[in-house]
Chains A and B, each alone.
Chain A
Amino acid sequence: MAVSVKNLDSREFFFGHKACAGCGGSLAVRIALKVLGARAVAVLPAGCMSAVGFNFPQLAFSNNALITPFAATASVMTGIEAGLRRRGEIAHVVGFAGDGGTADIGLQALSGAIDRGDNLIYICYDNEAYMNTGIQKSGLTPFGARTTTTPITGSVRRKKDMLAIVAANGAEYAASASVGYLDDYVTKIEKAAAKPGFKYIHVIAPCPTGWGIKTNETIEIAREAVDVGLWRLREYENGQWLENCAPSRPEDLVKHLTRQGRFSALDTDKLEETKNV
């Protein structure tokens, strides 16, 4: 049965964490665990969610969870899955890595796990920079976004197309989602949970601290990114790409960018340029 707000698990599996107020990433973790249930094993590399979830002796996860070396998310998941299978236990192994832990540091382990076709769910919560260590540019920082390592002009590089990379590696299922549209995100996790093989979900998770937005604007910004066409909701399944929706108001792109503090380095010309990148 399809999971919706009515029949979503009422238990909280990610509670009491120390994430900043209005954190999009913690919402992505919280909802994913509600769908996957109490038996799911959460695997987290160094990153925001491990920094806020495991504050000795406070443990915000109420299912099994552990921290891995930064580069080894997918490898550790492989090991846990093999161990569970050996013991005859049936549980989802889910990884929550940030954009840096996925697109830069953990990419090699991720590619290896896809190659082995292990039965895993890998969720990348994308807040578009290394937020945990103080907003440094990552491979998924978009063009023009100001970070502490790109302080003057903002990032001069485009965002990596992680979904295409994962699909090209041969994942069973890959999808992009947004914390602004949780119904869609929940459906995609459910779909991933039902499939064997390696599943990848890339969820955009605004960060009020790093993006220069108000704490209550997280959801609005995450929705807007989809509506203006900056973040496309796509699925890759059986070797086919599927676009979930067309941008509903692409004309608001500049408005969307100017309301975020991180794009303040962009002048009018550069803002026009972003339409092409």
Chain B
Amino acid sequence: MRLKPLPDTIPDCTAFEAGYLVTQNGGWRSERPVIDEAKCVKCRQCYLYCPDGTISQEISVDYDFCKGCGICAKICKPGAIAMRREADYA
């Protein structure tokens, strides 16, 4: 997801364009979900149950906004999602 720049001037009201994203959530993560393509059966349960909507229908993770809660790894029946230490990817 592309971020939008912070406005140059302070707006005079709090009405904003819908979906105005200026900061990411990826830094909250201590573990990241890694998908094993070979095991994935494309049931899309991870896409459905992700509270942040960071897994696309084509099963790829938006690491800018994934908070690393691990729901996807738990819901995945074939066990195609593993939670790996974020520090190893820094």
Contact = CB atoms under 8 A, between A and B. Distances in A.
Interface of A: 5-6, 8, 10, 12, 14-24, 26-27, 30-31, 55-65, 182, 208, 214-220
Contacts of B19: 15-16, 59-62
Contacts of B24: 16
Contact of A220 (B11, B51, B74): B74
A15 B57 CA distance: 15
Contacts of A220: 74
Contacts of B57: 10
Interface residues of B, number: 39
Contacts of B25: 16, 18
Contacts of A182: 48-49
Nearest to B65: A16
Given A10-B56, A216-B70, 8 more contacts: A8-B48, A12-B53, A23-B69, A58-B23, A62-B19, A215-B69, A218-B51, A219-B49
Interface pairs A-B: 5 shortest CB-CB: A62-B19, A216-B70, A22-B69, A21-B69, A21-B67
A216 B69 contact: yes
Contacts of B11: 57
Q: Which of A5, A14, A64, A214 has the most CB of B within 10 A?
A: A5
B2 to A, nearest CB: 11
Nearest to A217: B74
Contact of B20 (A5, A12, A59): A59
A55 B20 CA distance: 10
A62 B16 CA distance: 10
A240 to B, nearest CB: 30
